[in-house]
Amino acid sequence: MQRYPRDMIGYGANPPAANWPNGARIAVQIVLNYEEGGENNVLHGDAASEAFLSEIVGAAQWPGQRHWNMESIYEYGSRAGFWRLHRLMADLPITVYGVATALARSPEQVAAMMDAGWEIASHGLKWIEYKDAPEDVERADMAEAIRLHTEVVGEPPRGWYTGRCSDNTVRLAAETGQFAYVADTYADDVPYWSEFGKTDQLIVPYTLDANDMRFATPQGFNSGTQFFEYLKASFDALYREGGRMLSIGLHCRLIGRPGRVEALRQFIEYAQSQGDVWFATREQIANHWATEHPHQRFVRPSQMGRDQFVQAYGGVFEHSPWIAERAFDLELGPAHDTAVGLQNAFARMFRSASEDERLGVLTAHPDLAGKLAAAKRLTAESTAEQASAGLDALTDSERTEFGAGNMAYTDKFGFPFIIAVRDHDKASIKAAMQSRLSNDRATEFKEACHQVERIALHRLKDMLPR
């Protein structure tokens, strides 16, 4: 079976109400990355110097050598940039992404973070690239990062962000059972849950756009003014939508420069001047979300075996389990674990079937208010659907009228009159029957097929949580 692991739908068109504390319209979450002293460096046992996120244009790693200029740029972050940012934000709830080895080399900065009440989350053992790391190596580094962080800070981290991660990172972090949230994703504006085996892991997504790293990347921010304007625009859009989270990423050696820090000050003052704004740490956001929106598991169609899948959904298209059987072989994934998504997979198989096969689906449908209904021999789904439009409580004259209409329709087209009754009431059903009798067969065949798909959608909405 083909299964696609990426979740391309998320919350869809209607994210859940965030219900931020005190009725806030937006949560503003500022991250200060503390990486200085944890970057690639032969002094740290690495093969080469650092080359990422600095003032040096086109920087490259120097294998087997120290890069004095690069080291000094990182040192600026710890020696000057950190303290400038600490003075500016000591009264705000800040989350620090702390590289464990960097924290261990910066005891005064750690003390200042703790005195300010900042959350110190883990940013991994070292600020290095993990994309090619063997899984056992990354797992071991993660365990050592937690151990060292706990030793240095005095308590274990409740949040995790590797940054330069592998495709194993989030799963490995979840498997520790350690974290209230993992942040190695940029996939949404609000937290969401992911399942890893038996573990339900809350994800609090991070950002690379509202991030001062773009001062050190091509086509990034050239001035503090650009940074302020981008943060302001992001804030305004999310504030207007309501119930969203604005993540802001900062680095001591980047935004801590005097030519940039005033843009951050200006934005903080702007955000504070607006009403209904919640400044929060990521852990506070995670705790709030877990309380407001605890994870609820359900049996996901894309994760079912064939027999279970066909047993559950084989009746969605009336007496036509072959549609579910064919749909099972598609590239199903999280996008098909919703009613709209799964209906699309079924409709694809229905639409690509032969005309005789589709006719078989049409003729499998019962007459509306017909003999099968009177004899109580409809499927449970058809019974409920007809009852929803009052077709189970017709007068004798209405029953006669429907019977005559069904007969005329079937005689003309060779299949029963089909309509998604949940879209209608009794009067509009009768009107539709009369109107559609004037169609030619090709037009009506197409319309009947469309109605079958609508019926399937309604049935799936009854079966799935979304």
Q: Which residues are catalytic?
A: 365
**Lookup: tokens for 99:** 């590289």
Characterise 177 by phi-psi region: left (phi > 0), alpha (psi -120 to 50), beta (else): left
- Going by DSSP bridges, is the β-strand pair 181-182/192-196 parallel, antiparallel, or unpaired? unpaired
Torsion of CA 355, 357, 362, 366, to 10 degrees: 160
Within 342-461, strands assigned E span: none
Q: Which helix (H) or strand (E) holds 145?
A: helix 135-153
**Lookup: tokens for 79:** 């020696």
Secondary structure (3-state) at 158: coil
153 CA to centre of own chain? 32
By CB neighbour count within 10 A (0-12 exposed, 13-18 middle, 19+ buried), where does 303 fall? middle
Q: Which helix (H) or strand (E) holds 339?
A: helix 339-351
Distance of alpha carbon 353 from alpha carbon 327, whole angstroms? 12
Secondary structure (3-state) at 202: strand
Range list of H helices, 243-297:
258-273, 282-292
Q: Are 26 and 245 in contact (CB under 8 A)?
A: yes
Q: Please, what's the b/e burial string for 206-230 (b: 16 or more CB within 10 A of its CB; e: otherwise)?
A: bbeebbbbbbbeeeebeebeebbeb
Taking each helix axis from N to C end, the angle separating 441-463 and 355-363, rounded to the nearest 10 degrees, works out to 60
**Lookup: tokens for 437:** 């009798």
Within 208-347, strands assigned E span: 244-251, 277-279, 331-332
